[in-house]
């Protein structure tokens, strides 16, 4: 079974802090994704990556950056956390392919105070 | 840009009954895939079922089936013999070529199952 592990289930940070959300997958998947989930808004794509050291902006990249130094690890970085970044963050991975499903981690619920 | 619309924010169903969750999408592509995901309270997103646009036969996975109407751009999920464990958020998602394209998700439908 594919396992996608997000380092924290719950996280509380202060406004202005630099925040790192880590995601690791164990199935050698090329593609990795970061989504943000908010009530009534569904899942919105922040960033994604097709390969090591490459990244593509999603629909809501402002205030975020990513790093993919190794194939199995995809990190989401909040350069200066703000209260409007309080949300659930979901990491996912997949192999290339039109029919290829995403495999998700358990999510990190981030609260910025 | 492709969009996915789930018009029912919340639904409820009696245990053992059947419920249908609706999903429509907007695309000019002819080749694409559609997915339904389930997110229970544990937060783990689980793939329920998927359908290729070129296949006319509706996909079925045990108690879950879809009604895919390509011309109407509709992709509804039918859950038969509903169980308490079916209570969850359900998300419809779409992907077109190339195969690396991220999934586009709808806003979700929260399904409650009444004992």
Question: B95 is written with which tokens?
Answer: 């992907």
Rounded CA-CA distance B78/B66 in Å is 6
Min Cα separation A69/chain B (Å): 19
The overall longest dimension of chain A from CA atoms, in Å, is: 40
pLDDT tens-digit readout, B24-81: 999 998 889 999 999 998 888 999 999 999 888 999 999 999 999 999 999 999 999 9
First-residue to last-residue Cα distance in chain B: 41
- Beta carbons of A42 and B102 less than 8 Å apart: no
| pLDDT one-digit tens code per residue, A59-96 | 999 999 999 999 999 999 999 999 999 999 999 999 98
Both tokens of A51, joined, read 């390969």
Residue among B47, B50, B106 whose CB faces A42 most closely: B106
Burial class (CB in 10 A: 0-12, 13-18, 19+), B21: buried
Instruction: Name the residue in chain A with its Cα closest to that of B34.
Output: A99
């Amino acid at each position: 079974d594919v396992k996608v592990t997000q380092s924290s289930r719950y996280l509380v940070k202060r406004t202005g802090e630099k925040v790192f959300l880590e995601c690791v997958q164990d199935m050698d998947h090329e593609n990795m994704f970061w989504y943000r989930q908010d009530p009534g808004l569904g899942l919105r794509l922040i960033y994604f990556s097709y390969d090591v050291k490459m990244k593509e902006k999603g629909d809501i990249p402002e205030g975020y950056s990513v790093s993919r130094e190794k194939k199995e690890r995809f990190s989401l970085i909040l350069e200066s956390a703000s209260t409007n970044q309080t949300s659930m963050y979901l990491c996912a991975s997949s192999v290339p392919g039109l029919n290829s499903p995403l495999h998700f981690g358990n999510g990190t619920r981030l609260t910025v105070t | 840009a492709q969009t996915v619309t789930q018009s029912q924010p919340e639904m409820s169903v009696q245990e053992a009954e059947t419920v249908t969750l609706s999903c429509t999408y907007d695309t000019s592509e002819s080749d694409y895939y559609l997915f339904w995901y389930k997110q229970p309270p544990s937060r783990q997103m689980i793939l329920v079922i998927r359908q290729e646009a070129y296949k006319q036969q509706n996909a079925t996975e045990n108690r879950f089936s879809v009604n895919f109407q390509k011309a109407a751009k509709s992709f509804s999920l039918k859950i038969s013999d509903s169980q308490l464990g079916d209570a969850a958020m359900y998300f419809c998602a779409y992907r077109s070529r190339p195969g690396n394209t991220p999934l586009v998700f709808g806003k979700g439908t929260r399904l409650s199952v009444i004992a």
